[in-house]
């Protein structure tokens, strides 16, 4: 039965040896040599330092293509033409499934045909050398972004390959990304990833870790996301990580988004040990996008505006082609520049919106309820508590595809467009908070002259792609019109 | 409202290692509301799981969803697997079927060649899928009107 | 010596006959027949009614090409693909100069070559029939937009041609648009335009009039714009206009823009006679745009956000190609849809920003100072007062190219990005208000560690096109680096 | 700072019926700061007014600005008018020179054919115009450095 305890050094070495034998490139890892490589990198490539010392939100896109030279070209473009402050390398789906063989096939096919037959960069297959070639070629720090339940080999190779930031976590890369991996299993695997990052940290190479805040990207109530961020931050801290970036995905209501980012930073600082430097990352809208680049630019800009007000440490931008598919590099850079323009025009303005403190207070109270129930479920151990709380449904994520979460909680927007909880299922929450949500949602139902139902949820899921924030009834029968 | 379509069973799932669940959640709801009997296999469903479910529930249609851009690879040989299991159902595929900014007509061809009866893009409303199913499974018009008229 | 008095009917007829003889198409105007044509139009083409009864900001682009069929196609596109609520017809520059002969040449060359040899639609040359073909072809109401100091013939033809809204005014289409026309002259000419609109109004065809609020589009302090709007509204009301849309151009600071729009509506209602229905129009940023469509989309979106908060009756959108030249129809429609998306996502949210009431109060006080000085200059007559106040410099517009304005007042942004007055010249203003501006600007100068100077103004003029709101020194020498 | 360029006179104005004044306001300021003697004719300046001013002030360069899209028409025959008036000055034109979304290289050609020595697009910083003037009017390098070094 695993607990929230640091993996002992010998155990770390044992697992490390074992997982590195999983694919040929694993054998090339030499920890001492890797430390020397990191030490040789200029200050401008030290991810944690660059992020933590920035005086305004840094922008980072998403991007990953199979071939190394293409990936270099893509990132150079995003750096030069998009003016990205931080760069990504998004990993392909086969690697996420630990199917390095299939990834190899895809990579070879890509090399032969010139087509992108993988939806990301297979870093394990490229190996340490390939990774370092990438790191060396670019000026900005680069993060590994993936969605891998078992990312141990990916971490071993990319850390040794010179990456200093690694997205994900045992919950956030499990619940939204996979059906069958148990939580206990992914926690155990991520303890290794964090422990490895901690081993580098101990040697002065502070690997930045970034739990994935948006989760399913679809109307996730802020407190659920924040509680999971705190848990993953705690787990990482236990293993020795000292630079942690907690994430949050825009819901589109400015007051709620600013309040949530404030709460995320505040509770992160409070719950995580003092020796951890906590930063925040804001993801531009992660749900369904409008099938129209012009409208998508509006969605992106609203994200920029929110970022200018809340001033997170980092913003992950979307492209106007988000709806359609993997964006061209031009569209990706355009998303960066649109965001930059909005932020830079708005950030020097004093924009204090009423009601942020109240909303933040509500989010904090909700988050504390969830944290309390997690600790209670685990008799004080956050690992056990997380597993038990998901099991009982006291902790849950809307639209979770994973068997490890009930996925029974359902969100809906209130009359102001803030995300509330419509179906609580077994989610743990104080009654007075539930009453607040209930009242807000019944106010909306009144406005719309209809009952609260799954149809409202479905309408809200589609609303932003349909051009609105709130999924108001349109007169004509929509989804669920027959119930 | 109870319709005759209650007897019409459709199998629904996301193929491959794709975990995008929101689309099929909405589809499941809409199909059920329209009177279909929906067997939702969820995300990350293998070709074999689709075939088994279609046999077990005598499904009249198999609805495959794919969003993450690996649809083509994931569907290679799918219709052979269905045939081997003696599945004789309509097959639909929908979602975001190509990597990158592709032309949809090309994509449609690719998937029709793979054996799918209908190919839908990601702008598809559930209503369109329902209308197509009603046509393909010969649900009578009056029933379908009952469904769409209620608002 | 002209005064703010209604043109008598016989005088109206006399001038009307005279000006209509200025170009062949003028002869076709028959007032009674025109009234019947207007009466035959469906409710959806009654500009004033559509605008005044809307429950959210209506969107209108700018657009004009020389040939009729091209103009129809262009407007259909903006209506169908851009989802414009209100349509424009922008007039070419030769017509603005009353050079109908040159416009005719341009039009014929356009017809021969298929090229757009004019920068707008020569409505006078197209005549009543051409105008009506346009009105008939579109579903939405259409406004005439131009920039013509002497727009009498244009008004006579377009009113009879079925247009029910007409932009401009004697100050707003003089000071920013022309060097040599005297104010007395343009006022006299616009009295006719307004009187003609009033004549239609009397017969139940409420022609909407829209003074051009952005003026030079470049850092115009809100109170200057609002005072001029009120004056033009008063002049129009005197001549019998009953539907007046006062305009304001975004300066980019959200608090100041919302405050200005609030003040515009409030003071408009207060200063204009009760029988006038006062509405407001917000122009997205009218100054220099970034030479990059992605960044331009950010500027446009900030305008949309501001509109969602202030909720003016109408928004005039910009396109992402504003920097480059006359936009393609696709870019024009994109500007509309980006704006629509931002407004529709933000408008249902309760966004109350601190400090709007204070800023609005300041703007109102400034505007009253200017209105008081205008009345005082004219011994109670607003026409005389306006002429005298511009003459003495008590009323002035920054960057005015006209000989009728001193153009000596200079704006600069304060540390929050609000437009303040750096050089007052002879502008009339209470000392305590001047002190407020001074304090704000010296705060900025402190922040930047430099003196207030023309260089600050020049930096602010370029700031938005350079990607920022405030023209902070960039370290390297910019304009005026040698002074 | 006083420079030798003080003697170098340039005429500046917006041609035709164009009223866009902001650009030349900034240019005037920058040119003066760089030591040029600037005769600013303002907006809506005719070809003849440019020629007269050039003669009257013995200008070494005539700087024409046009933003509103009629530059080509407005500049037809301009160099003939200058010639007739015996103006022997460098001629520059800048601003937004074409209607619509044109390719700048094409625009440059058009205006070079019309007789302009240099053609600038609307992304031109005043510094570029100053640098070109200094080169074309043989202002010594050390002077120009004095100008750009001070910040
Ligand atoms: C939310 C989201 C996520 C969430 C998913 C959470 C979850 N578990 O569901 C998260 C953040 C986890 C995620 C992860 C990934 N995502 Co994603 N995601 C999206 C996003 C923004 C919205 C999808 C959505 O929920 N839409 C709302 C629902 C209601 O619409 P829908 O899914 O399109 O379904 C409707 C229709 O398509 C249709 N339909 C769907 N299936 C079928 C089937 C049939 C038979 C029929 C008739 C109709 C039909 O009807 C549905 C209901 O109306 C889209 C982009 C977009 N569309 O805006 C990208 C997108 C689908 N994702 C993409 C990618 C690449 C990924 C990742 C690989 C990348 C990464 N960096 O992590 C991973 C994949 C993980 C995995 N193993 O699957 C790409 C796919 C690229 C491509 N196809 O070329 C997209 C298009 C984004 C992009 N532009 O790059 N994603
Ligand atoms: C502000 C503005 C206005 C204001 C002008 C106020 C005033 N009197 O100055 C108002 C609102 C009145 C206006 C009116 C019109 N405008 Co206007 N306007 C603009 C806008 C938004 C900014 C111009 C500006 O001030 N820029 C800031 C200054 C500092 O930059 P600049 O002018 O480009 O000048 C710099 C450089 O170009 C260069 N430069 C300029 N000239 C020269 C000369 C030389 C020799 C050199 C070396 C360099 C140089 O150096 C300058 C300093 O850095 C531009 C679009 C844009 N650029 O974003 C449209 C724009 C110029 N306008 C345009 C049009 C069509 C018009 C109107 C005809 C349309 C209308 N609907 O009313 C009228 C014309 C009226 C008239 N008779 O001139 C078009 C021109 C289209 C084209 N060329 O293809 C533009 C591009 C907008 C568009 N996309 O449609 N406009």
Q: Which of residues 388-427 of C touch A (CB under 8 A)?
A: 415-417
Is residue A180 annotated as a catalytic residue, yes or no? no
What phi-psi label fits residue A131: left (phi over 0), alpha (psi between -120 and 50 degrees) or beta? alpha
The shortest C-alpha distance from A305 to chain C (Å) reads 8
Strands A419-423 and A410-413: antiparallel
Q: Which of residues 16-35 of C touch A (CB under 8 A)?
A: none
* Of C94, C179, C325, Cβ closest to residue D98: C325
Is residue A18 annotated as a catalytic residue, yes or no? no
Burial (Cβ within 10 Å: 0-12, 13-18, ≥19) of residue A482: buried
Is B99 annotated as contributing to ligand binding?
Answer: yes
CB contact under 8 A, C353 and A348: no
Q: Is B111 in the pocket of ligand 1 (CB under 6 A)?
A: no
Burial (Cβ within 10 Å: 0-12, 13-18, ≥19) of residue C356: buried
Strands annotated E in D4-143: 9-14, 37-40, 61-66, 90-95, 118-120
In degrees rounded to 5, what are phi and psi of residue C418?
-80, 145
Exposure class string for A217-241: b at 16+ Cβ within 10 A, else e: bbbbbbbbbbbbbbbbbbbbbbbbb
How far, in Å, from the CA of C400 to the mean position of ligand 2? 13
Q: How many CB atoms lie within 10 A of CB D120?
A: 21
* pTM as predicted: 0.95
Q: Which residue is closest in CA terms to ligand 2's atom 22?
A: C288
Q: How many CB atoms lie within 10 A of CB A36?
A: 10
What tokens does C242 get?
């009953």
CB contact under 8 A, A337 and C295: yes
What phi-psi label fits residue B117: left (phi over 0), alpha (psi between -120 and 50 degrees) or beta? alpha
Q: Which residues in chain A are contacts of B20 at CB distance < 8 A?
A: 401
- Taking only the tens place, the pLDDT of each residue in D60-79 is 999 999 999 889 989 999 99
The architecture that CATH gives domain D43-98 is 3-Layer(aba) Sandwich (3.40)
Q: Is A287 in the pocket of ligand 1 (CB under 6 A)?
A: yes
Contact call for A and B: 3+ CB–CB distances under 8 Å: yes
Q: Is B61 in the pocket of ligand 1 (CB under 6 A)?
A: no
* CA dist., res. B142 & res. A483, Å (int): 17
Contact A320, A334 (CB under 8 A): yes
Q: Is D126 in the pocket of ligand 2 (CB under 6 A)?
A: yes
When pLDDT is cut at 50, 70 and 90, the band that residue D147 belongs to is very low
DSSP codes of every residue in C145-205: E---SS-HHHHHHHHHTT--EEE--TTTTTTTT-SS--HHHHHHHHHHHHHHHHHHHHTT-
Q: Is the pLDDT of residue D100 over 80?
A: no
The shortest C-alpha distance from D106 to chain C (Å) reads 15
Q: Which residues in chain D are contacts of C400 at CB distance < 8 A?
A: 21
> Domains along chain C?
9-346 (3.20.20.240)
CB contact under 8 A, D100 and C326: yes
Mean pLDDT, range A294-320, rounded to an integer: 98
Q: Is the pLDDT of residue D145 over 60?
A: no
Ligand 2 pocket test target in C325, C334, C466 with most atoms within 8 Å of CB: C325
Q: Is D99 in the pocket of ligand 2 (CB under 6 A)?
A: yes
Is A322 annotated as contributing to ligand binding?
Answer: yes
Strands C419-423 and D9-14: unpaired
Spatial neighbors of C361 by CB under 8 A, at least 6 apart, are: none
Computed from CA positions of residues A186, A192, A196, A198, in that sequence, does the dihedral angle turn out positive or negative?
Answer: positive
Closest listed residue to residue D89, CA positions, set D127, D131, D50 = D50
How far, in Å, from the CA of D68 to the mean position of ligand 2? 6
Q: Which residue of D has its CA nearest to C408?
A: D25
Q: Which chains form contacts with chain C, at 3 or more CB pairs under 8 Å?
A: A, D
Mean pLDDT score across all residues of chain B: 87
Atom of ligand 1 nearest to the CA of A322: 89
**pLDDT confidence of residue B147:** 44
pLDDT-flagged residues of chain C (< 70): 475-483
Q: How many CB atoms lie within 10 A of CB C77?
A: 17
Question: DSSP 3-state assignment of A320?
Answer: coil
- Taking only the tens place, the pLDDT of each residue in A132-148 is 999 999 999 999 999 99
**pLDDT confidence of residue D142:** 46
Helix-helix angle A431-448:A454-463, to 10 degrees? 80
**pLDDT confidence of residue D101:** 60
Mean pLDDT, range A67-77, rounded to an integer: 98
Q: What letter would DSSP give residue B68?
A: S
Q: Residue D92 CA: which ligand is closest? A: 2
* CA dist., res. C275 & res. C233, Å (int): 12
Spatial neighbors of A58 by CB under 8 A, at least 6 apart, are: A50, A51, A85, A86, A313, A314, A315
Atom of ligand 2 nearest to the CA of C479: 53
When pLDDT is cut at 50, 70 and 90, the band that residue B101 belongs to is low
Contact call for C and D: 3+ CB–CB distances under 8 Å: yes
Q: Is D12 in the pocket of ligand 2 (CB under 6 A)?
A: no
Q: Is the pLDDT of residue A405 over 80?
A: yes
How far, in Å, from the CA of D138 to the mean position of ligand 1? 63
Contact of A328 with chain B, judged by CB distance below 8 Å, is answered with yes
CB contact under 8 A, B30 and A288: no
- Taking only the tens place, the pLDDT of each residue in D18-65 is 999 999 999 999 999 999 999 999 999 999 999 999 999 999 999 999
Contact D39, D8 (CB under 8 A): no
Residue appearing with tokens 């993988």: A118
> Which residue out of D4, D18, D74, D138 is catalytically annotated?
D18
What tokens does D95 get?
């601003």
Contact of A304 with chain C, judged by CB distance below 8 Å, is answered with yes
Each domain of chain B, given as residue ranges in start order, spans 43-98
When pLDDT is cut at 50, 70 and 90, the band that residue A475 belongs to is low
Does residue C67 or residue A480 have the better pLDDT?
C67
What tokens does C371 get?
């209105």
Does residue A116 or residue C279 have the better pLDDT?
C279
Mean pLDDT, range B68-79, rounded to an integer: 92
Computed from CA positions of residues A461, A462, A463, A467, in that sequence, does the dihedral angle turn out positive or negative?
Answer: positive
**pLDDT confidence of residue C117:** 82
> Which residue out of A46, A96, A340, A472 is catalytically annotated?
A96
Q: Could you report the predicted ipTM of this complex, rounded to two decimals?
A: 0.94
Q: Which residues in chain B are contacts of A399 at CB distance < 8 A?
A: 21-22, 25
Computed from CA positions of residues C101, C103, C105, C107, in that sequence, does the dihedral angle turn out positive or negative?
Answer: negative
Atom of ligand 1 nearest to the CA of A96: 77
* CA dist., res. D52 & res. D65, Å (int): 17
Contact call for C and A: 3+ CB–CB distances under 8 Å: yes
Closest listed residue to residue A264, CA positions, set A238, A277, A246, A241 = A246
CB contact under 8 A, D1 and C218: no
- Taking only the tens place, the pLDDT of each residue in A270-282 is 999 999 999 999 9
Angle, alpha carbons D99-D103-D106 (nearest 5°): 95
Question: DSSP 3-state assignment of A483?
Answer: coil
Ordered strands of the D118-120 beta sheet: D37-40, D9-14, D61-66, D90-95, D118-120
CB contact under 8 A, B33 and A481: yes
Helix-helix angle C9-20:C152-160, to 10 degrees? 90
Percent of chain A whose predicted confidence (pLDDT) is above 70 = 98
Q: Which residue is closest in CA terms to ligand 1's atom 30?
A: B23
Burial (Cβ within 10 Å: 0-12, 13-18, ≥19) of residue C156: buried
When pLDDT is cut at 50, 70 and 90, the band that residue B69 belongs to is confident
Q: Which residue is closest in CA terms to ligand 1's atom 42?
A: B94
Contact of A56 with chain C, judged by CB distance below 8 Å, is answered with no
Spatial neighbors of C340 by CB under 8 A, at least 6 apart, are: A295, A298, A467, C59, C83, C304
CB contact under 8 A, C179 and D98: no
Closest listed residue to residue C210, CA positions, set C157, C181, C239, C246 = C246
Q: Which residue is closest in CA terms to ligand 2's atom 17?
A: D68
Q: Is C288 in the pocket of ligand 2 (CB under 6 A)?
A: yes
- Taking only the tens place, the pLDDT of each residue in C415-442 is 999 999 999 999 999 999 999 999 999 9
Size of interface C-D (CB pairs under 8 A): 101
**pLDDT confidence of residue A476:** 40
Spatial neighbors of A378 by CB under 8 A, at least 6 apart, are: A384, A385, A386, A387, A388, A389
Atom of ligand 1 nearest to the CA of B19: 78
CB contact under 8 A, D147 and C482: yes
* Of B21, B43, B68, Cβ closest to residue A93: B68
Q: How many CB atoms lie within 10 A of CB A133?
A: 17
Q: Is the pLDDT of residue B99 over 70?
A: no
Q: Which of C397, C472, C479 has the highest number of chain D CBs within 10 A, making it the mutation to test binding with D?
A: C479
When pLDDT is cut at 50, 70 and 90, the band that residue A8 belongs to is very high
**pLDDT confidence of residue B5:** 45
């Amino acid at each position: 039965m695993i607990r929230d305890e640091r993996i002992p050094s010998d155990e770390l070495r044992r697992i490390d040896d074992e997982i590195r034998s999983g694919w040929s490139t694993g054998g090339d890892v030499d920890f001492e040599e890797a430390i020397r490589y990191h030490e040789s990198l200029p200050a401008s490539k030290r991810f944690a330092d660059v992020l933590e010392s920035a005086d305004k939100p840094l922008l980072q896109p998403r991007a990953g293509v199979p071939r190394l030279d293409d990936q270099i070209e893509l990132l150079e473009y995003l750096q030069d033409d998009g003016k990205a402050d931080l760069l990504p390398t998004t990993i392909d789906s086969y690697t996420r499934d630990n199917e390095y063989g299939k990834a190899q096939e895809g990579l070879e096919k890509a090399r032969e045909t010139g087509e992108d037959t993988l939806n990301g960069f297979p870093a394990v297959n490229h190996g340490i050398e390939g990774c370092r070639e990438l790191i060396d070629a670019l000026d900005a720090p680069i993060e590994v972004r993936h969605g891998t339940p078992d990312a141990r080999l990916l971490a071993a190779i990319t850390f040794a390959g010179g990456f200093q930031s690694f997205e994900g976590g045992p919950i956030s890369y499990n619940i939204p990304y996979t059906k069958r991996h148990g939580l206990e299993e992914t926690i155990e695997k991520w303890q290794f990833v964090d422990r490895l990052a901690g081993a580098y940290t101990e040697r002065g190479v502070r690997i930045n870790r970034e739990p994935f805040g948006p989760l399913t990207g679809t109307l996730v109530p802020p407190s659920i996301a924040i509680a999971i961020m705190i848990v993953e931050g705690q787990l990482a801290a236990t293993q020795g990580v000292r630079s942690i970036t907690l994430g949050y995905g825009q819901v589109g209501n400015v007051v709620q988004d600013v309040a949530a980012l404030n709460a995320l930073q505040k509770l992160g600082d409070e719950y995580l040990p003092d020796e951890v430097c906590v930063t925040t990352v804001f993801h531009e809208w992660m749900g369904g996008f409008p099938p129209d680049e012009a409208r998508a630019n509006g969605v992106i800009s609203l994200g920029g505006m929110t970022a200018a007000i809340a001033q997170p440490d980092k913003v992950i931008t979307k492209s106007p082609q988000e709806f359609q598919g993997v964006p061209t590099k031009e569209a990706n850079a355009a998303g960066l520049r649109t965001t930059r323009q909005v932020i830079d025009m708005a950030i020097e303005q004093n924009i204090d919106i009423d009601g942020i403190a109240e909303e933040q207070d509500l989010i904090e109270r909700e988050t504390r309820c969830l944290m309390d129930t997690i600790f209670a479920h685990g008799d004080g151990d956050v690992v056990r508590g997380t597993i038990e709380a998901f099991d009982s449904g006291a902790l849950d994520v809307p639209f979770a595809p994973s068997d490890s979460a009930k996925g029974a909680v359902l969100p809906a927007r209130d009359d102001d467009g803030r995300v509330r909880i419509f179906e609580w299922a077994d989610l743990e929450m104080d009654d007075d908070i539930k009453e607040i949500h209930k009242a807000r949602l019944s106010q909306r139902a009144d406005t719309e002259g209809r009952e609260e139902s799954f149809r409202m949820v479905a309408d809200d899921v589609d609303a932003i792609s349909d051009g609105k924030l709130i999924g108001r009834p349109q007169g004509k029968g929509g989804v669920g019109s027959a119930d | 409202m109870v319709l005759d379509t209650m007897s019409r069973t459709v199998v629904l799932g996301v193929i491959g290692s794709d975990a995008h669940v929101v689309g099929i959640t909405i589809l499941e709801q809409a199909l059920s509301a329209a009177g279909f009997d929906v067997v939702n296999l969820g995300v990350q469903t293998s070709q074999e799981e689709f075939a088994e479910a279609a046999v077990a529930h005598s499904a009249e249609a198999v609805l495959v969803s794919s969003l993450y851009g690996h649809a083509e690879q994931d569907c290679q040989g799918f219709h052979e697997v269905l045939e081997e299991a003696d599945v004789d159902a309509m097959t639909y595929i929908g979602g975001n079927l190509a990597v990158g900014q592709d032309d949809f007509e090309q994509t449609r061809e690719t998937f029709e060649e793979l054996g799918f009866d209908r190919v839908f893009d990601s702008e598809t409303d559930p209503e369109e899928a329902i209308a197509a199913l009603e046509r393909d499974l010969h649900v009578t018009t009056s029933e379908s009107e009952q469904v769409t008229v209620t608002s």
